[in-house]
Structure 1
């Protein structure tokens, strides 16, 4: 190869390095993919800052990254999946049934032993894909529609999380939607709610930058500290995407009587204080949302035809060589939204530079 196979590897808390990695050695059902863009997720930041993402504790060095797009260099030897030269997005989940814990067959995201790229939930850890070249199961690869550039397609995985979350509320067409927290997932939830025909979208955040982004995406923005304004929204549907205890309390206060609150942001482990009396006496429906199933296919189609207007969510692009700087930028929600790593190994058509 003309370039070193650089990757962003978490070794321990406060110890993430840009390492030169071995070239991928694919199994029969794996394709070698040349990564073009990778979006930094909150879980990547948690592994860097805390050495853990929730209950997933880093116990060995792990390649980060699960929001990736690229071009197939070598197709899977068993003949499955896209051919060499295909531009692909990646569905990073592997559903696994543990044989004893029941879950709905039509909701593989709830499989009890499932794995996810770039996750320390299990040993050995599931390596991510923030590298110039990686081997990935062919079944994870989704063809990117013609006309959709790789940069915008890099939003497919987080937008699928938002699409699944909005879908947990049912049909939002003609309804008022409140989004609590306008980080990247919250911003994408705004875009998805508008795509789905919401009559009005209101969004909150602590910082001016994400509030301005919310307005660019077509929402009315509120300061997250303005409790009276939030309580006065009376939203039919609330998407709690901050993953904070105050955010969940705000979501409950901002819902109308009989409304629905989708808990999309992942709360910290353990017990938290929640105003349940208000949820009970106002007959709110509280529903969880975890990752996604096949919504990534709908997202790719909507990004390609322009009906999902999400390009403004991308705020920064930095090369893999500056991976540590990219993490620092992504950490600062007051200045950034979705930060993309660029791997500079291919053009958008798949030709090697």
Structure 2
């Protein structure tokens, strides 16, 4: 079968690998679509994602939708043929999970397509993958497989909404950054009852996508200014260090800023004095815990999210797909079509 692997920076290949076989309690999923994530782009561009350095061949990918092809011993056969998405997190053994952390913060847990541990946790950009049956989430038949591939990043966005309190009834919300996660955060904020949703970005094309999925106002930075102290909640989804101070400046006194975008490694100068004098809450948001179920349900009711998918490539065009995904002025979510 085909798999998309990296051997380090700018060393991406499509290779042939043996087809995996499910053990007891596992299933084989024939992959339909896989979404290219920011972490995949970091592994491709730098051979690392933060402190996670590629030290062996790593199959990338964790945002996938596919069809259950076979089930291992002990599982009901009626799961075969079902459209599913996969929770990428593998929890640590129960003895190591006594600190009450969610799946997104387990110290010894793993994640599909991650070099955080050695041996690496191989990912899902392949014709077939084997996962535990409890990692499956079944998708409504009305949802196209390519939209289902948005479930994992949508769960990331929903977790950020949860970190901001979860109830946005009557609130004015700013989302900084109109990349795939930022646009999906629009859907999350709308689901949470936001009164108004403003999205800012440096490029017009992603702002057009944000408008398509429900943003009330879009601001092209450089041509428009973000209002000061105008928003109850700011979700910072760009990951640009300068955007953090801008987010703190944009939130109202007593409001909440959620840092969702992944910042570059190392210290950064932030105006933390405003957190004190204006009693602003600043919270981090890492991946997601239980929000994948809500994401699957929301996808069945939100066909407008199809607009986030701007490009689809065959696996043999993986390098071109990654280059397109890295160009935020031209693309939003880029998918790989494995043809299941």
Relative to the length of structure 2, the TM-score reads: 0.95
**Which whole-Å CA distance do the structure 1 matches of 2:296 and 2:135 have between them?**
14
Q: Give the total of aligned pairs.
A: 338
1:151 aligns with 2:146: yes
In structure 2, what is the equivalent of residue 305 of structure 1? 301
In the TM superposition, what whole-angstrom CA distance separates every residue of 1:115-149 from its partner, at most 9, and x where no partner exists?
10000000000000101111112111111112111
Change beyond 3 A, Cα 1:38–1:81 = farther
**Which whole-Å CA distance do the structure 1 matches of 2:214 and 2:112 have between them?**
32
C-alpha deviation, 1:97, in angstroms: 5.7
**Which whole-Å CA distance do the structure 2 matches of 1:80 and 1:96 have between them?**
26
Aligned partners of 1:156 and 1:299 also within 8 Å: yes
1:212 aligns with 2:191: no
In structure 1, what is the equivalent of residue 12 of structure 2? 16
In structure 2, what is the equivalent of residue 44 of structure 1? 40
**Which whole-Å CA distance do the structure 2 matches of 1:248 and 1:130 have between them?**
32
Q: Which range is displaced more, 251-260 or 265-274?
A: 265-274
Counting only pairs closer than 5 Å after superposition, residues 302-341 of structure 1 correspond to structure 2 as 302-306=298-302, 309-341=304-336
Displaced runs of 4 or more, over 4 A: 97-102
Name structure 2 gaps, 5 residues minimum.
none
Change beyond 3 A, Cα 1:284–1:339 = same
1:108 aligns with 2:96: no
In structure 2, what is the equivalent of residue 263 of structure 1? 259
Aligned partners of 1:161 and 1:292 also within 8 Å: yes
1:203 aligns with 2:211: no
Change beyond 3 A, Cα 1:82–1:187 = farther
**Which whole-Å CA distance do the structure 1 matches of 2:94 and 2:243 have between them?**
34
In structure 2, what is the equivalent of residue 129 of structure 1? 124
Change beyond 3 A, Cα 1:280–1:98 = farther
**Which whole-Å CA distance do the structure 2 matches of 1:104 and 1:250 have between them?**
33
C-alpha deviation, 1:216, in angstroms: 1.8
Relative to the length of structure 1, the TM-score reads: 0.91
Change beyond 3 A, Cα 1:172–1:97 = farther
**Which whole-Å CA distance do the structure 1 matches of 2:113 and 2:159 have between them?**
20
Change beyond 3 A, Cα 1:98–1:300 = closer
C-alpha deviation, 1:100, in angstroms: 6.7
Change beyond 3 A, Cα 1:208–1:112 = same
C-alpha deviation, 1:269, in angstroms: 2.1
Change beyond 3 A, Cα 1:150–1:101 = closer
Secondary structure of 1:310's partner?
Answer: helix
Which one of 95, 101, 123 corresponds to residue 91 of structure 2? 95
In structure 1, what is the equivalent of residue 70 of structure 2? 74
How large is the Cα RMSD of the aligned pairs? 1.8
C-alpha deviation, 1:86, in angstroms: 1.3
Aligned partners of 2:58 and 2:113 also within 8 Å: yes
In structure 2, what is the equivalent of residue 141 of structure 1? 136
C-alpha deviation, 1:230, in angstroms: 1.6
In structure 1, what is the equivalent of residue 219 of structure 2? 222
